[in-house]
């Protein structure tokens, strides 16, 4: 079993784009909890079945399994609850740590967030200059929430 400890921030400007290369992601949810969420994601020619259970504000137990892309496409088309999330994901290294910047499309167009995964909840890290307000504790910014209550409808 894995554990995900993640902090999430709004992105304040476009300076993160310099040299960034993204991967298109599509993901949908089969179960939205609480307490467990189950999703399928297709990105970079691979498909993943993912299960998460919230154990603290920014920590979740996490399981991931590769599945055939063709089956993931069928799941996204036929079994998902809510909207399928469309986004470009960029990985950017800053101060020795990898940040993931998600630029959402479709019903979440206009939303850009940056996430950093940590080893523990109290781990210190340096924020890049393009990172703005923290939204880790605002459930509206969870991908799960965005699939049910899109950003463009706020």
Residues involved in catalysis: 29
- SS3 state at 99: strand
Q: Kind of pairing, strands 22-31 and 2-11?
A: unpaired
Reading the block at residue 30, the tokens are: 């089969």
Report in angstroms the alpha-carbon separations of 101 from 19, 51, 146: 13, 21, 16
Query: 3-state DSSP helix/strand/coil percent for the chain, to nearest 5?
Result: 20, 50, 30
Q: Please, which residues have CB within 8 angstroms of residue 93's CB and are 6 or more apart in sequence?
A: 99
């Amino acid at each position: 079993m894995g554990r995900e400890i993640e902090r999430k921030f709004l992105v304040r400007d476009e300076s993160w784009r310099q040299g960034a290369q993204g991967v298109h992601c599509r993901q949908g949810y089969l179960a939205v909890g609480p307490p467990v969420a189950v999703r399928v994601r297709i990105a970079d020619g691979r498909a993943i079945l993912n299960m998460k259970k919230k154990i603290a504000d920014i920590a979740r137990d996490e399981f991931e399994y590769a599945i055939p892309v063709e089956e993931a496409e069928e799941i996204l088309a036929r079994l998902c609850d809510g909207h399928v999330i469309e986004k470009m994901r960029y990985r950017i290294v800053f101060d020795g740590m990898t940040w993931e910047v998600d630029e959402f499309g479709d019903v979440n167009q206009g939303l850009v967030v940056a996430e950093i995964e940590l080893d523990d909840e109290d781990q210190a890290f340096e924020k890049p200059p393009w990172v703005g307000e923290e939204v880790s504790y605002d459930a509206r910014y969870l991908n799960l929430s965005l699939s049910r209550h899109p950003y463009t409808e706020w």
